[in-house]
Amino acid sequence: MSRTVLVLNGPNLNMLGTREPATYGHETLADVSSLCRQTADELALNLEFRQTNHEGELIDWIHQARARCAAIVINPAAWTHTSVAIRDALVASELPVIEVHISNVHAREKFRHHSFVSPIAVAVLCGFGVQGYRLALQHVAHLLNAKG
Ligand code: DQA
């Protein structure tokens, strides 16, 4: 059985570290990638870590994951609050989805309180900073180990 986990990052997350550090912290996307790589190694998961600013590209990656991956961890960033297309692609993948947000979106503007992804996710993490990615991968390992 596949132990490949696709970690996807949406728009503007390539700017982590310099973008609104009071909200998102000082760690860069490369730091998040390293954290995920180290966590995946500890948990014997195969990791694919990607970021895009193009919604169609993200949707293509989700479609391709269906045949190859065991789970998707996704920080859809602003598309969380706008994209039915990403939600539909995630449903079509038939994979367990874990939604991650670095900030606590519920403590921020009202438009960030609604997520198109949360109702179809197995778990949602927000406000843990970049450690949320590590926690999400730990939960994926737990789900896969429980499946046997
Ligand atoms: C975010 C929260 C979103 O509301 C925002 O648009 C982002 C990042 C987070 O990780 O906290 O770009 O997903």
Distance 68 CA to ligand 1 centre (A): 27
What local confidence, expressed as pLDDT, does residue 148 receive?
A: 72
- Write out pLDDT tens, residues 48-88: 999 999 999 999 999 999 999 999 999 999 999 999 999 99
The response to whether residue 105 sits with its C-beta less than 6 Å from ligand 1 reads yes
- Write out pLDDT tens, residues 110-124: 999 999 999 999 999
Q: What is the mean pLDDT of the segment spanning 85-113? A: 98
**Which ligand 1 atom sits nearest the alpha carbon of residue 13?**
12
Max alpha carbon distance in the chain (Å)?
A: 42
- Write out pLDDT tens, residues 8-58: 999 999 999 999 999 999 999 999 999 999 999 999 999 999 999 999 999
**Which ligand 1 atom sits nearest the alpha carbon of residue 75?**
13
What local confidence, expressed as pLDDT, does residue 127 receive?
A: 98
Distance 142 CA to ligand 1 centre (A): 25
Euclidean distance between CA atoms 147 and 129, whole angstroms: 29
pTM over 0.75: yes
Q: How confident is the model at residue 128 (pLDDT cuts 50, 70, 90)?
A: very high
Euclidean distance between CA atoms 12 and 7, whole angstroms: 15
Q: In what order do the strands lie in the sheet with 46-51?
A: 46-51, 4-9, 71-75, 97-101, 123-126
- Contact assessment for residue 72 and residue 36, using Cβ atoms and an 8 Å cutoff: no
